[in-house]
A = this chain, B = another copy of it.
């Protein structure tokens, strides 16, 4: 599924890390929010408030969750869970499209 249907989308983008990460917020009929975004090739550290699931739509990255020593590679169709109040290192090896699911 390469699109979300019957949703609302917020016009103003979320811009992080000087534009290395840009996302738009999508709101579902039940009020659930997800963000669809891009990470340009770079090494970034994200922090989480709520737990989230990062689903890779296209591209390739390496990820290391807080407290881990090993990096895991993810590519299109794969996803990883991030606990709340935590952080993760992500290295986008290619331009990355992702969907971030919260909660």
**Which positions in A face B, CB cutoff 8 Å?**
2-13, 15, 18-20, 22, 24, 26-27, 36-38, 40, 57-58, 95, 97, 99
Contact A22 B9 (CB under 8 A): no
Return 14 A-B CB contacts under 8 Å, by A number: A4-B8, A7-B7, A9-B36, A12-B57, A12-B58, A12-B97, A13-B36, A13-B37, A13-B97, A15-B38, A15-B40, A18-B40, A19-B20, A22-B22
Bound: A101/B37 CA distance, A: 21
Contact A5 B8 (CB under 8 A): yes
Interface SS of chain A: strand
When C-beta atoms are compared, the residue in chain B nearest to A97 turns out to be B12
